[in-house]
Amino acid sequence: MGLKPYLGLRGNALLRAAVALVVFPTFTCYGYNMSVAGGLLTLQAFNKQFPRMDTINTEGAMKAENSTIQGTVIALYTVGGIFGALSCAYLGDRLGRRKVMFGANLVCMIGCILMATSFDFAQFIVARLVLGVGIGGYTATVPVWQSEISPAHKRGSNVVTDGIFVGAGVSLGLWIDLGLYFVKNNSASWRFPLAFPSVFCIIAMASIPFLPESPRWLIMTGQIQEARNVMSALLELEPDSDEISDVIHDVQTTLAVCGNTSWTAVFTMDKQRLFHRAYLACTGQFFQQMCGVNLITYYATTIFQEYLGMDEVRARILAASMGLTQPFGGLLAFYTIDRLGRRPLMTWSAGAMAICMAVLAGTTSPEAEGHTAPLVVAVIALFCFQFIFTVGFSGLTFLYAAELAPLQVRAAVSALSTATVWVFNFLLAEVTPIGFNSISNRYYIIFAVINAVIVPSVYFFFPETKGRSLEEIDEIFAQSNNIFDPPRVARRMQKTLRSSTPDRSGSGSGGENNYVKEEVKA
């Protein structure tokens, strides 16, 4: 039939290969790099090589100064992530999804190698920046590519798997830290963990050329025959079928109606309310970071060892075990995201995380020091927080940003929202050592309050997108006149949809037609 082979796979098998060969290694690498550095900060070999970040063998003013330096160096990784994500606002539509993902993985691999081979403090700093640029680039692009090749009725569960892989990476980084902790007085104890994630980059780079490009991007750039071949493989239809021809016509019509496809359109407020939608996408990612997850992920080992008074081995075992809760939380999100919806998962999770942070503030107070019961409760709260975060925020906010983004500026909105992740990731990595050092357990109270504020914010401002085509999401905002309207309009449309459309589940011939019409248009 003249089809371009994609590993000899078609339909669901091809989608599963995309997840296994690109989404899994990239987001596992992302999670791994979030956690692995924190476990190295307490290694004697690491502190001997980089004494300016040593907070274990120092006290008083020197410890305070080193805490600041430590936070800055760890946070520089997120500064690179900001620039990597923002670059995709322009490169995502100019080069295509696959080229950007390949290039970002290459940069990430270079960053890993530079870190692992560092003998000088300056090289380590540069390596952190390079690593961040690479990871920022692919975290802004992979969810867009994934959503554009996923079936409409499975878009939520497919993209939310990102959270499972992030959790797996976090846990893997902590367990590797634990294993190499026993390699005493040898730089391999920290060089190997920093070099290891380059394996994930190699897997992704080797796989990307054999997987399909986004059909939407191909149509937008005039590569119609290639788009036909991609849709034929994804939908298991003939390339010249009427169904695929109709989809291509619909996408071309939508692009013509949209007009301005420049990434700068995201800052306009016409009938489509592009800026409003970009603002909500970025706010969701702001919530993902400011709930406080990375003060725990980055500094898990340090929290257990320095602030809960555990010995080095026990601290590492608990930190690594805590990371294992994230994949389970991601699995729960996988099975509930398309049933319960986005808003319930975010609101319930934020409320529960607020309780966890409040419990941590109380159980780690000076009055509780030396008592076993508060220590046990604090550990339970840390475990619960990691699990709950993955259910409601880890992969969900990446999904939500892609769903809110209209056709013509999806790459730009994804880039801006992912840059928001990195901006506040940087803030937390920078201030957390200082926060613990200056206000101790009261640092948790800040995040208890922020999580409590997230609950009404989601309820009043964020519309439900569960089960909706991208065109229906467009209509929610087209019918909205202010920032409070989208949730109300979404509820009203849902009532109308239930009464007028008996089957939108994707089952039967009607469901498949909806899948072809709606998802490839996405």
Per-residue model confidence (pLDDT) at position 473: 79
Per-residue model confidence (pLDDT) at position 260: 55
Return all residues near 406 (Cβ < 8 A) that are at least 6 apart. 258, 272, 274, 277, 413, 470, 474
Structure tokens at 238: 């003939």
Output the CA–CA distances (angstroms, integers) from residue 35 to 2, 176, 332, 386, in the order listed. 46, 10, 22, 13
Query: Rounded mean pLDDT of 31-54?
Result: 82
Pick 343 or 265 by higher pLDDT. 343
Query: Rounded mean pLDDT of 361-379?
Result: 77
pLDDT in tens, 436-445: 778 877 888 9
Per-residue model confidence (pLDDT) at position 514: 42
Residues 47, 99: contact at Cβ < 8 Å? no
pLDDT in tens, 317-335: 887 788 788 888 888 888 8
Which of 88-102, 413-427, 446-460, 469-483 has the weakest average pLDDT?
Answer: 469-483
Q: Minimal CA–CA distance to 24: which of 261, 249, 197?
A: 197
Q: Up-side HSE of residue 141: CA atoms within 13 Å toward CB?
A: 35
pLDDT in tens, 69-94: 877 787 788 889 899 998 888 888 88
Report the alpha-carbon distance of residue 480 to residue 462 in Å, rounded. 12
Longest dimension (CA), the chain: 74
Report the alpha-carbon distance of residue 429 to residue 322 in Å, rounded. 19
Residues 262, 92: contact at Cβ < 8 Å? no
pLDDT in tens, 175-218: 888 888 788 778 888 899 999 999 999 999 999 999 999 888 88
Pick 24 or 300 by higher pLDDT. 24
Specify the amino acid at residue 144: V
Output the CA–CA distances (angstroms, integers) from residue 201 to 43, 116, 147, 164, 196, in the order listed. 26, 15, 21, 18, 10
Per-residue model confidence (pLDDT) at position 456: 95
Pick 484 or 433 by higher pLDDT. 484
Per-residue model confidence (pLDDT) at position 105: 96
452-455: Cβ within 8 A, 24+ apart: 452/350, 452/351, 452/354, 454/287, 454/291, 454/346, 454/347, 454/350, 454/354, 455/347, 455/350, 455/351, 455/354
Q: Does domain 7-211+261-475 have CATH number 1.20.210.10?
A: no
pLDDT tops 70 at residue 159: yes
Query: Rounded mean pLDDT of 302-312?
Result: 73
- Residue that is written with structure tokens 């357990």 in the block: 441
Domain layout of the chain by residue ranges = 7-211+261-475, 214-239+246-256
Query: Rounded mean pLDDT of 212-225?
Result: 87
- Band the pLDDT of 499: cuts 50, 70, 90: low
Query: Rounded mean pLDDT of 160-184?
Result: 82
pLDDT tops 80 at residue 257: no
Cα distance from N-terminal residue to C-terminal residue, the chain: 26
Query: Rounded mean pLDDT of 62-67?
Result: 80
Helical residues (DSSP H) of 182-241, grouped into ranges: 188-195, 198-207, 215-220, 224-235
With a pLDDT cut of 90, the percent of the chain lying above it is 24
Query: Rounded mean pLDDT of 393-412?
Result: 81
Q: What average pLDDT does the structure give for the chain?
A: 82
pTM: 0.80
